[in-house]
């Protein structure tokens, strides 16, 4: 009885091993296995990550004169988005004896980008800016400053190595204009 149990136990344990040896591997030498083939074709379809230096310039003009120019530079790859956060607190005189702290901010997010078939770069940008009207003639004396808030969603296709204005916003009431310019360069460009 004990030998019978031992024989049954050996057969039960040996069955999976015998089945594993009996499986036929249809891969011939020099050809990748189906799982490897699928992974390799996936790699061939996915272009390699390219790193780019993206420079964004905000030019603000009032009365036809450039009053501020802020430039931000970031590095991004096609698989990882990038962003800029520039938040500042500024004390502003609201009347002869009172100062108030106000926020100025510029936020830029690269939602998506990739190379086009022509070699240019498609960018999908989300931009939020909040700043002051700096023209003293645009507001009454002893009042709170005028705060401008703008949100842009722009999706240009840009040539690499050339600065392009992707958005221009005109505020006719305050005689001001904001230009958003973008320059895309390969990371190794000088």
* Least confident stretch, 45-59, 103-117, 149-163: 45-59
CA angle 52, 57, 60 (to 5 degrees): 170
Residue of 31 and 78 predicted with greater confidence: 78
For range 32-42, the mean pLDDT: 56
CA 60 – CA 179 distance, rounded (Å):
7
Residue 146 — very low, low, confident or very high, per pLDDT cuts 50/70/90?
confident
With b meaning 16 or more CB within 10 Å and e meaning fewer, what string describes 135-159? Answer: eeebeeeeeebbebeeeeeeebebe
- Residue 26: what pLDDT? 45
Sequence ranges of the domains in the chain: 51-186
Bridge partners, residue 53, by sequence = 75, 185
Q: What is the pTM of this model?
A: 0.65
């Amino acid at each position: 009885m004990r030998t019978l149990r031992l024989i049954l136990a050996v057969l039960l344990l040996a069955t999976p091993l015998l089945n594993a040896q009996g499986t036929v591997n249809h891969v011939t030498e020099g050809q990748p296995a189906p799982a490897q083939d699928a992974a390799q074709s996936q790699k061939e379809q996915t272009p390699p990550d390219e790193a780019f230096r993206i420079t964004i310039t905000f030019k603000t003009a009032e009365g036809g004169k450039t009053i501020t120019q802020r430039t931000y530079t970031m590095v991004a790859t096609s698989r990882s988005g990038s962003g800029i956060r520039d938040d500042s607190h500024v004390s502003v005189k609201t009347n002869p004896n009172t100062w108030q702290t106000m926020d100025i901010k510029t936020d830029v997010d690269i939602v998506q980008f990739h190379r086009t078939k022509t070699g240019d770069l498609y960018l999908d940008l989300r931009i939020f800016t909040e700043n002051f009207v700096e023209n003293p003639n645009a507001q009454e004396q002893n009042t709170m400053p005028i705060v401008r808030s703008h949100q842009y969603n722009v999706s240009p296709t840009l040539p690499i190595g050339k600065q392009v204005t992707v958005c221009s916003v005109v505020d006719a009431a305050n005689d001001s204009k904001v230009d958003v310019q973008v320059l895309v360069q390969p990371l190794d460009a000088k």
